[in-house]
Amino acid sequence: MAYVCSLKTRGSSYKLEPAKYDKERSAFLAAMGLQILRFDNYEILTNVDGVLERILEG
């Protein structure tokens, strides 16, 4: 079985990204059968083990 992982982090500029575009992108990826996990930069920097655990559980 093959797995694909794509990461997009949320930084301070996230608030500038229109919510509509984010929802459309999420719907497109979900329609392709991809599971979406979201992490902000702070969580990645301060809780790498927890982030990796969630990815592996996903």
Per-residue model confidence as pLDDT tens digits over 12-49: 655 656 677 778 888 998 898 888 888 888 888 999 99
In a domain, 38, yes or no: yes
- Is 5 a member of any domain? no
Average pLDDT over residues 51-55: 92
User: Is 1 domain-assigned?
Assistant: no
Split into its structural domains, the chain has a count of 1
Neighbours of 6 (CB within 10 A): 7
* 3 located within any domain: no
Q: Report yes or no on 7 lying in a domain.
A: no
* Residue 9 tokens, joined: 């982090």
Structural domain range at position 22 = 12-57
Domain-embedded: residue 2: no
For residues 12, 18, 23 and 24, what is the CA-based torsion angle, rounded to 10 degrees?
-130
CA distances from 36 to 27, 53 (A): 10, 15
- pTM of the predicted protein model: 0.66
